[in-house]
Amino acid sequence: MSTFRFPPSITSRPVYGTLAPRPGKAHLMIADAEGAEALLDLAAADPELFANAHVIFIPKGTGDRFTEPLKAANPSILHVGPSYAASVPRIRRVLSDAHMGLQVYLAGTEGLMGQAMNEATAAGIPHSAIQTEHRGSVARRMQCVHCKGITEDVMTDPFVCAHCGLTLFVRDHYSRRHAAFQGVCIDAEDPGNIPDPVELYS
Amino acid sequence: MSAGTEKIDVTVTDIVKLNDLVTRFKFERSDGGQLPTFSGGAHTVVEMQDDGITRLNPYSLMSDPMDQSAYTISVRRDDEGRGGSLFMHNRVKTGDRMVISYPVNLFSLDLRARKHLMIAGGIGITPFLAQIKQLDRLSGRFELHYACRSAALGSYVDELTANHPNAVHVYYDDQKQAIDLQRLLTGQPLGTHVYVCGPKGMIEWVRKTSAALGWPEEAVHYEEFLAPQSGKPFQVRLAKSGITVDVGEHESLLEAIERAGIDAPYLCRGGACGQCETDVIESDGTFVHRDHWLEDEDRASGCKIMPCVSRFEGRTLVLDR
Ligand code: FES
């Protein structure tokens, strides 16, 4: 099972739910990796939904394990893309053509959900009306508060900023605007005093 | 206390009868100063001294929110009501001094919206008049669908259609014209918010239809002022104040509490804002809940009441006030 129960944290930290079918004329579903399982659960709960669903899926290391099952759910459009970045133009186009009543479902990693959430809210959907379900990796998309660079798929705390090389402490402080958690220099006061990295939630 | 209901002394400077039912009133500050600006959708609570009874009725402000020289309201005559609108229609004269509250907005535009879709029924047009003036300034995109009984009773139709020929759509009941809501809501671009002000049935219709079509409730805004209704007289004990008050047939619980000299909280006086929520300490009887505020559990528990519109029938009622 690809679900993980995040321990309670500060209010800034996003919380995710369980995707549930909602009435609507059109459904946009965006998932990466094990997020596909959440979409398949949704299809099992309400197969009708998929007749008007546009599914954008990024396998992200899961190979083609989910491609056939997703096809079998019979979505009106299934797009399997190589990366989130590559699917952004498609997401924007779908949103710009959409009408009120579109339902948005996001599933998979926090980085994917956060970024896709930004696209949907920028298109005018209230963030509280967008459904999310976390599946798979607990890796985080981190922003270095010093150089502002984004490091994707961070699995340890602390970690080294991919842009400026500082060693950063992984905070639960989240920015919806950047769709990223904040990373803060861990040895600013005592340079060189860096604890051993520990895997997140291990 | 009447939070946000700081008072302003005003003089009635103009009264215009628009049609058989609706009359417009203009208020300017009696001290010649400027009124506060407001945001479209705000209302003011007008105090009426009606032969010893103080009536406090909310009316939507319909003037330009940036115009600080005067406020205007439109009052629809309600012959069946408890008398507030009749007082405005029959007793208020140009030059009269009145007291109104600072504007309070429980029906504001969500300025994150890409487009504002407005649905008005009858006198429910008034908050939209101010909102449209606000959007004019911001070059905001809007569309108004306005249903009225007949052309003769179509308040402000001419002004609206002349100023916004492409954005205003009017429907007359007597010509069997009706808003095709299903179609209207289906064709809206992403980021549209819908606003409805009108009779209860119309609000329900828009809320239900939009929900069924998948509109998020965050994008659906509505305003309905309930007028307090008459009912059987009852007695209430106010525990904190240590007094017992008789609530008359034609006054609301809130009005009776105020008449006893207690400064109780309120904002909308129409069962919508939640400000007047009061804890019940003891009761033996039935509540007549009429508000839009309390959750079903609150009602079932018998522990809360909204005194602006709700009543009580029975032997004992003790409130934490
Ligand atoms: S005063 Fe607003 S609900 Fe009673």
Name the pLDDT band for B213 (thresholds 50, 70, 90): very high
pLDDT band at B27, cuts 50/70/90? very high
Residues of chain A with Cβ-Cβ distance to B219 below 8 Å are: 100, 126, 129
The verdict on residue B2 lying in a domain is no
Instruction: Answer yes or no: are the C-beta atoms of B59 and B38 closer than 8 Å.
Output: no
**Residue B80 pLDDT grade (very low, low, confident, very high; cuts 50, 70, 90):** confident
Confidence of residue B228 (pLDDT cuts 50, 70, 90): confident
Is B229 part of a structural domain of the chain?
A: no
Please list the residues that pair with B28 across neighbouring strands: B11
Q: Let me know the angle formed at the C-alpha of A140 by A137 and A141, rounded to the nearest 5 degrees.
A: 130
Residue B267 domain boundaries: 234-319
Helices (H), B33-164: 84-90, 126-138, 157-163
In contact, A36 and A68? CB cutoff 8 Å: no
Average pLDDT over residues B93-114: 95
What's the CA gap between B62 and B41, in Å, rounded? 8
A98 contacts on B by Cβ (under 8 Å): 189-190
- Residue B167 domain flag: yes
Tens-place pLDDT, residues B171-190: 999 999 999 999 999 999 99
Q: Which domain-ending residue is among B105, B131, B151?
A: B105
User: Strand locations in chain B, DSSP E?
Assistant: 7-17, 22-29, 42-50, 53-60, 71-76, 97-101, 104-105, 115-121, 142-148, 168-172, 192-197, 220-223, 234-238, 243-247, 278-288, 304-305, 311-319
> ipTM, 2 decimals?
0.88
Print the SS3 string covering chain A: CCCCCCCCCCCCCCCCCCCCCCCCCEEEEEEECCHHHHHHHHHHHCHHHHHHEEEEEECCCCCCCCHHHHHHCCCCEEEECCCHHHHHHHHHHHHHHCECCEEEEEEECHHHHHHHHHHHHHCCCCHHHCEEEECCCCCEEEEECCCCCEEEEECEECEECCCCCCEEEEEEEEECCCCEEEEEECCCCCCCCCCCCEECCC
A128 Cβ under 8 Å from any chain B Cβ: yes
**B287 inside domain:** yes
Round to whole Å and give the CA distance between B47 and B88. Answer: 10
Reading the block at residue B122, the tokens are: 């009858």
* pLDDT for the residue A2: 75
Instruction: Tell me the helix, strand and coil percentages in chain B, rounded to 5.
Output: 20, 35, 45
Give B195→chain A minimum CA distance, Å: 14
Specify whether B99 is located in the same domain as B124: no
Domain at B157, CATH number: 3.40.50.80
Reply yes or no on domain A27-134 having CATH 3.40.50.300. no
pLDDT at B227 over 90: no
Residues of chain A with pLDDT under 70: 1
Domains in chain B, number: 3
Query: What per-residue confidence (pLDDT) applies to B1?
Result: 44
Who contacts A48 (Cβ-Cβ below 8 Å, separation ≥6)? Answer: none
pLDDT value at residue B3: 52
If one residue of B43, B252, B267, B304 were mutated to test the ligand 1 pocket, choosing by the most ligand atoms within 8 A of its CB, it would be: B267
At residue A1, the pLDDT reads 53
A125 touches chain B (CB under 8 A): yes
